[in-house]
């Protein structure tokens, strides 16, 4: 959540920053008013408690002096104040709860480097990359055999069975088979190996407590997009960001530990509420997919380098796969709730003739750390860590883009060279009986 101290000290700065995200100033004023009321009620409850404590001392003095009448009068007054203190404490708790709920719904302040804009149409394209670009090769064109939908190519090769997925779990739950499954596994194994030099590999649970989901900002804002197991107060994780962010929840880290980097491949579950009939063919939008996540706890000073490192690693994977991609700097109006700055990577997939988002690399400042209460200790005292994360990469759309981009004239699909060792030396996907 945002820094309440900053809101008190610099309300106009916060209003201007959140105004870039479309948050009305009146909403900020409402939060400020709740904070003022909460502090007033808190002071009143503390004043009443202090008065009751003093009355208790006076009652004791009166009883020791055998002044029964005074002791009874003071006791009666103490009871009356006790009721007032109880009411004041209840009111304080109610306003505190309302204040917290409002703060949980406020998005993060966008960074100064984040472009202005209202929605995805205002995102800024930073650069593009394609095979041979450095040698002067023009932006690629694609042959007719590359212009087939990946679900049609996959059906020919018998490596994706969408009908079986529907039969087992409903629509938008894909089932990979044969070499399609093996290719998916190869993506993850290759990526995790590429990150071993600096990131500790973690295998977290696929489910998270409500508190864990709150820490990243996925709750309460995105509740409708999550899969809930209400009986056990658990949620299917939408990304490994969720458990990684809470790995050190409630702890104070030593500054010498930072940056603390972790990576994890997990299944990711998203309900995609409201997506029915939109991009639901093939693997463009699915309820379950595998993804490798990169994550770092860091100091504010380390955050830019941590963000750049994750972005560079994601780009390096796309280049290793030989996929054409572009880099987008997301505008303030298109940022996720918790993000201060996000850079997206989109690959071009010729069969569907579209750019497909495959990675979001985000810096959250201390927004998530405040929710998770993760701090670090330095010579100046303690402060909240900054968190940075990004996908490297989300495999469903990468799988689709490779199938379409690498389809050969004979109907086979060339496996990216970097994945051949992970495919047992196999160089092409071919139709098998």
**Span 274-331, pLDDT tens digits:** 555 567 789 999 999 999 999 999 999 999 999 999 999 999 999 999 999 999 999 9
Catalytic-role residue among 246, 360, 362, 391: 360
Please, are residues 165 and 173 in contact by the beta-carbon 8 Å criterion? Answer: yes
**CATH 3.30.930.10 residue spans of the chain:** 120-429
Question: According to the model, what pLDDT value does residue 272 have?
Answer: 82
- State which H helix or E strand residue 268 sits in: strand 260-269
Catalytic residue at 40? no
Rounded to an integer, the average pLDDT of 101-117 is 96
Spacing of C-alpha 24 from chain mean position? 24
Helix (H, G, I), strand (E, B) or coil at 269: strand
Catalytic-role residue among 20, 182, 285, 371: 285
Spatial distance between the Cα atoms of 181 and 175, rounded to a whole number of angstroms: 8
Rounded to an integer, the average pLDDT of 411-418 is 98
The superfamily CATH assigns to domain 120-429 is Bira Bifunctional Protein; Domain 2 (3.30.930.10)
DSSP bridge partners of 389 = 295, 362
**What percent of the chain is modeled with pLDDT above 70?**
98
Spatial distance between the Cα atoms of 363 and 18, rounded to a whole number of angstroms: 16
State which fold the 4-105 domain adopts.
Helix Hairpins (1.10.287)
**What is the sign of the dihedral through the CA atoms of 9, 249, 395 and 322?**
positive
For 130-139, the CB contacts below 8 A with 24+ separation are 130/324, 130/325, 131/322, 131/324, 139/324
- In this predicted structure, the answer to whether residue 226 has a pLDDT above a threshold of 60 is yes
Write out pLDDT tens, residues 256-277: 999 999 999 999 999 986 555 5
Catalytic residue at 270? yes
**CATH 1.10.287.40 residue spans of the chain:** 4-105
Catalytic-role residue among 182, 341, 370, 397: 397
Question: According to the model, what pLDDT value does residue 78 have?
Answer: 87
Catalytic residue at 349? no
Write out pLDDT tens, residues 171-225: 999 999 999 999 999 999 999 999 999 999 999 999 999 999 999 999 988 899 9
Catalytic residue at 397? yes
Catalytic-role residue among 270, 313, 341, 370: 270
Residue carrying structure tokens 């927004």: 367
Question: According to the model, what pLDDT value does residue 274 have?
Answer: 59
Write out pLDDT tens, residues 364-398: 999 999 999 999 999 999 999 999 999 999 999 99
Spatial distance between the Cα atoms of 77 and 58, rounded to a whole number of angstroms: 11
Task: Reply yes or no: is the peptide bond before residue 393 cis, omega within 30 of 0.
Answer: yes
**What percent of the chain is modeled with pLDDT above 90?**
90
Please, are residues 386 and 341 in contact by the beta-carbon 8 Å criterion? Answer: no
Spatial distance between the Cα atoms of 57 and 59, rounded to a whole number of angstroms: 5
Radius of gyration of the chain (CA): 28
Question: According to the model, what pLDDT value does residue 71 have?
Answer: 86
Confidence band of 101 (pLDDT split at 50, 70, 90): very high
Average pLDDT, the chain: 95
Catalytic residue at 196? no
Catalytic-role residue among 37, 156, 357, 377: 357
Question: According to the model, what pLDDT value does residue 166 have?
Answer: 96
Helix (H, G, I), strand (E, B) or coil at 122: helix
Residue 325 CB neighbours (<10 A): 23
Write out pLDDT tens, residues 329-353: 999 999 999 999 999 999 999 999 9
């Amino acid at each position: 959540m945002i820094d309440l101290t900053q809101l008190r000290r610099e309300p106009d700065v916060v209003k201007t920053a959140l105004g870039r995200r479309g948050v009305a100033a009146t909403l900020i004023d409402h939060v400020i008013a709740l904070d003022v009321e909460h502090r007033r009620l808190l002071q009143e409850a503390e004043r009443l408690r202090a008065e009751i404590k003093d009355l208790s001392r006076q009652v004791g003095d009166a009883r020791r002096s055998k002044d029964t009448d005074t002791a009874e009068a003071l006791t009666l007054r103490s009871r009356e104040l006790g009721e007032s203190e109880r009411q004041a404490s209840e009111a304080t708790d109610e306003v505190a709860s309302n204040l917290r709920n409002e703060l949980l719904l406020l998005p993060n302040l966008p960074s100064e480097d984040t472009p202005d804009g209202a929605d995805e149409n205002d995102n800024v394209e930073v650069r593009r990359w394609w095979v041979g670009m450095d040698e002067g090769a023009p932006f690629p064109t694609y042959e007719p055999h590359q212009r087939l939908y990946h679900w049609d190519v996959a059906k020919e090769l018998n490596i994706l069975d969408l009908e079986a997925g529907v039969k087992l779990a409903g629509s938008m739950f894909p089932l990979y088979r044969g070499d399609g499954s093996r290719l998916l596994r190869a993506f993850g194994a290759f990526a995790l190996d590429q990150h071993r030099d600096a990131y500790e590999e973690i295998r977290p649970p696929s489910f998270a407590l409500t508190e864990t989901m709150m820490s990243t900002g996925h709750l309460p804002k995105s509740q409708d997009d999550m899969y809930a197991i209400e009986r056990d107060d658990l949620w299917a994780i939408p990304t490994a960001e969720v458990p990684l962010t809470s790995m050190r929840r409630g702890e104070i880290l030593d500054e010498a530990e930072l940056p603390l980097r972790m990576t994890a491949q997990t299944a990711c579950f998203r309900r995609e509420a409201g997506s029915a009939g939109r991009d639901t063919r093939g693997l463009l939008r699915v309820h379950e997919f595998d993804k490798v996540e990169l994550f770092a706890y860091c100091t504010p000073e380390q955050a830019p380098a941590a963000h750049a490192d994750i972005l560079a690693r994601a780009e390096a994977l796309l280049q290793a796969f030989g996929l054409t991609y572009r880099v987008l700097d997301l505008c303030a109006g298109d940022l996720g709730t918790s993000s201060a700055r996000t850079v997206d990577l989109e690959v071009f997939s010729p069969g569907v003739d579209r750019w497909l988002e495959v990675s979001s690399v985000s810096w959250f400042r201390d927004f998530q750390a405040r929710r998770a209460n993760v701090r670090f200790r330095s010579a100046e005292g303690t402060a909240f860590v900054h968190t940075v994360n990004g996908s490297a990469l989300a495999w469903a759309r990468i799988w689709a883009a490779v199938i379409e981009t690498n389809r050969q004239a004979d109907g086979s699909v060339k496996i990216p060279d970097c994945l051949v060792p992970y495919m047992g030396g196999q160089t092409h996907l071919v139709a098998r009986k």
